[in-house]
Amino acid sequence: MLLADMYAVVNIFISFMGPGSIMQWFLFTNMLIATAPGILWRERGAQFNSRRGTSKALALIILGGTINTFLPNANMWVLSMPNVFNTAVFYLTGIVCVAIAAWNCYYVFRLPEKVPTEDMPNPVW
């Protein structure tokens, strides 16, 4: 039931905003994924003084996905809608998002290792 509701909401948004709008929303979510986790990671890093609550692998995956999102003339946005996305603003935004994701990755790698706990005797890096 929840899945049907999600499809209904997505389809109504597409009908309200136009067929290309879903690509813009997908791009917006990728930009949020590149930037927002770093805020939480800094809070957790200050609270626990370790990588508890995140991992190096997650930071690297987010960085790779962000680079792939804004890869010049080879990403799905530019290939599908070049008149909308093949602009200087798109690529400048990409530079900012990749820089933030790289900084977040650097921050996570600088944090001390996770300490074993009762719930997690062998922490994942």
Q: What is the pLDDT of residues 19-45, one digit of tens each?
A: 778 888 889 999 999 999 999 999 988
Q: How far apart are alpha carbons 16 and 24 in whole angstroms?
A: 14
pLDDT for residue 91: 96
**Residue 125: pLDDT band with limits 50, 70, 90:** confident
Q: In 3D, which of 71, 44, 74 has the Cα closest to residue 59?
A: 44
Burial of 22-38, coded b for 16+ CB within 10 Å and e otherwise, reads: eeeeebeebbebbbebb
Q: How far apart are alpha carbons 4 and 10 in whole angstroms?
A: 10
